[in-house]
Amino acid sequence: MPTRLKVFSTRRLPRAVEQKLRELTEIEFGDDERDYSADDIVAAAKGRDVLVVTLMEPVTAEVTKRFPETIKLVSTVSAGTDHLDVKALTARGIGVSNTPGAVTDTTAEIAMLLILGAARRAREGLAMVEQDRWRGWRPTQLLGLGLSGAKLGLIGCGRIGQAVATRAAAFGMEVHYHGPREVSGAEAKFHARLETMLEICDVVSLHCPSTPATRGLIDEEHLALCKSGVIIVNTARGDLVNDDALIAALKSGHVAAAGLDVFSGEPQLHATYRSLPNVFALPHLGTATEEARTAMGMLVVDNIVAHADGKPLPNAVKPR
């Protein structure tokens, strides 16, 4: 890598990643506590060759239009790219890369944590202990759903969905999935129609991308098709869920509980989620391990090096 590119990263990265980037590039890191406006993102790109962003910094068509000519690569520290206007970036000759693969196992682990936490009423139990309301063991206290023998329905069965299927099977769950096509080797039963899967599952977990076809997928109509007492889990994208519909179903008891790691408009999630005892919520921790975040950062490094060397990006993102 003969050329030392000028790079700006909107967020701090794991130590090993920062060290590698300092060795190879002229890099500046932004402030983790800062909320970046469109103007801030454009200003950060000034005089840079590469911009490293996260899910928190939307690079829209308008922002892209204002980028300086020097910017030739936008690398996102995420598998998802719905915060980037890939079409607009590509039209300007700016490469786009992401960090798939590195997120699979950790996101699957969080999905299982949410399934367990929601099924076993962990939020209510924790509140009972923290608020000194626990008065000892009772035969009918906080009865939840046991996973052994329960049916899990996966909406989407890519890398993360399949990793969840493997882990859920170890808990004795019967795993089903719906997707655009049957996946060879998947340890689960395929349903060509989402409706037939929703009708039989005790837990429904989302593992599909955010697209015009999937946004708002968990709505009043689809929730009504679910078994009474179903548990809804989302580690994919917040906008897959219609918040008002899910909250209404949680209040009525039709949905027994929800385990949520992602939210529409995060971090400004729907305020009602905070007050519902049957919502087990996490602040987007899906990839929050030292190992995963370091691996994601090293993928960013790989893509920057490939760009500097004039080689194809290992994790190039193309317009859909």
* Structural domain includes residue 81: yes
Residues 74 and 203 in one domain: no
pLDDT tens by residue, 18-53: 999 999 999 999 988 899 999 999 999 999 999 999
Alpha carbon 237 to its chain centroid, in Å, reads 5
Is residue 84, in this structure, part of any structural domain at all? Answer: yes
Predicted confidence (pLDDT) per residue in 201-238, tens digit? 999 999 999 999 999 999 999 999 999 999 999 999 99
- Tell whether 136 and 18 lie within a shared domain: no
For residue 298, give every residue at least 6 positions away whose Cβ sits within 8 Å of its Cβ, in sequence order, or none. Answer: 16, 17, 20, 102
Report the b/e string of 112-147 with b at 16+ CB within 10 A.
bbbbbbbbbbbbbeeeeeeeeeeeeeeeeeeebbeb
117 and 150 in a single domain? The answer is: yes
* Same domain for 159 and 186: yes
Binned at pLDDT 50, 70 and 90, residue 101 comes out as: confident
Any catalytic annotation for residue 266? yes
Residue 201 within a domain: yes
123 shares its domain with 37: no
pLDDT of 1 above 70 = no
- What integer is the mean pLDDT of 134-146? 97
- 313 lies in some domain: no
- In this structure, the answer to whether residues 185 and 122 fall within a common structural domain is yes
Q: pTM for the complete prediction?
A: 0.93
* Domain range for 140: 104-281
Asked if residue 300 and residue 176 are part of one domain, the reply reads no
Claim to verify: residue 135 and residue 262 sit in the same structural domain: yes
Together in a domain, 145 and 241: yes
Say if 115 falls within a structural domain. yes
- Among the listed residues 266, 290, 293, 320, the single catalytic one is 266
If you write DSSP's letter for every residue of 260-299 in order, what string do you get?
Answer: ES--TTTTS--THHHH-TTEEE-SS-TT-SHHHHHHHHHH
Q: What pLDDT, on the 0 to 100 scale, is given for residue 187?
A: 87
Q: In the annotation, is 284 catalytic?
A: yes
Active-site residue among 207, 284, 293, 307? 284
Q: Identity (one letter) of the amino acid at 60?
A: T
229 occurs within a structural domain: yes
Distance CA 199, CA 69 (A): 53
Same domain assignment for residues 12 and 153? no
Our count of domains for the chain comes to 2
Percent pLDDT > 70 in the chain is: 99
- Check whether residue 175 and residue 193 sit in a common domain: yes
The proportion of the chain whose per-residue pLDDT surpasses 90, expressed as a percent, equals 95
261 in a structural domain: yes
Are the C-beta atoms of residues 54 and 10 closer than 8 Å to each other? Answer: yes
In a domain, 57, yes or no: yes
Residue 2 has pLDDT above 70, yes or no: no
**pLDDT at residue 320, rounded to an integer:** 82
CATH code of the domain in which 55 resides: 3.40.50.720
Instruction: Kindly name the residue from 123, 237, 293, 307 that is annotated as catalytic.
Output: 237
Collect all residues with Cβ–Cβ distance below 8 Å to 71 and sequence separation of at least 6.
45, 48, 49, 50, 51, 94
Same domain for 126 and 267, yes or no, is yes
